[in-house]
Amino acid sequence: MDSLFNIIIYGFGMIFSFGLFIVSLFSYKNSKNKKIFFVSIILFVFFIKFILLSTSIFYPRLENILSISILSIFDLIMLALLFLAILIKS
């Protein structure tokens, strides 16, 4: 039950982050705006995080590697990039 819940959550997370990543890439292609470039990287990191989480369901060995601290690093990277995206002038 717990595993099914994880599959659904990680699956949706992966699809949404990939969709938004594609939108951000096209937006960057059109605008060449540095802010959008950072947002694209954030969404890409998000996508990678969800890929790793989804994969860990099928490869338990990966689940051991993906500790809370490793996942926190991903979050920290995303927060730092978000901060840069807000800070940077277009």
Partner 1 sequence: MDDILELETRRKIYDLISKNPGLHLSKISELLKMRISLVEYHMRYLEKHDIVTVDKKTGFSRYFLKGKVETKTKHYSILRQKTILSIIFFLIKHDTARHKDILENIDCAPSTLSYHLNKLIKYNIIEVQRYGEMRGYKIINRDEIINYLIRYKPFDLFEGFTDIWTEINI
The footprint of partner 1 (CB under 8 A) covers 23-24, 26-27, 30-33, 35-36, 39, 85-87, 89-90
Residue number with CB closer to partner 1 (61 or 89): 89
State the Cα–Cα distance between residues 60 and 25, nearest whole angstrom. Answer: 33
Token pair of 67, please? Answer: 């500790």
| Backbone φ and ψ of 10, nearest 5° | -65, -40
Identify which of residues 8 and 86 has a Cβ nearer to partner 1 in the complex.
Answer: 86
Q: How far is the CB of 27 from partner 1 (least distance, A)?
A: 4
Q: For residues 28 and 20, is the Cβ–Cβ distance under 8 A? A: no
Distance CA 42, CA 36 (A): 10
Q: Nearer to partner 1 by C-beta: 23 or 57? A: 23
